[in-house]
Amino acid sequence: MGDFCKGRTVIVTGAGGGLGRAYAMALGAEGANVVVNDINAKTAQATFEAITEAGGKALVNLGDITDYDSAFDIVKSAIDEFGNLHAVVNNAGNNRDRMFTSLSEEDWDLVIKVHLKGHFCISSHAAKYWRQQSKEGKKVNARIINTSSGAGLQGSVGQTNYSAAKGGILTLTLNQSAELARYGITANAVAPQGRTGMTEDVFADMMKVPEDGGFDKYDPANVAPLICYLVSEKSSHVNGHCFESFGGMLSIAEGWKTGPVKDKGARYDVSEIGDVISDLEGVTTSAQKVYGT
149 is catalytic: yes
Residues 6+ apart with CB under 8 A from 131: 180, 183
Strand partners, 190: 147, 243
Burial class (CB in 10 A: 0-12, 13-18, 19+), 241: middle
Catalytic residue among 23, 129, 163, 166: 166
Pairwise CA distance, residues 52 & 44, whole Å: 12
Q: What are phi and psi of 224, to 5 degrees?
A: -60, -40
134 is catalytic: no
Catalytic residue among 77, 123, 148, 149: 149
Pairwise CA distance, residues 166 & 240, whole Å: 15
166 is catalytic: yes
Helix 160-180 to helix 118-135 angle, to the nearest 10 degrees? 10
Catalytic residue among 162, 177, 218, 245: 162
Closest CA to 142 of 202, 77, 89: 89
Residues with active-site annotation? 149, 162, 166
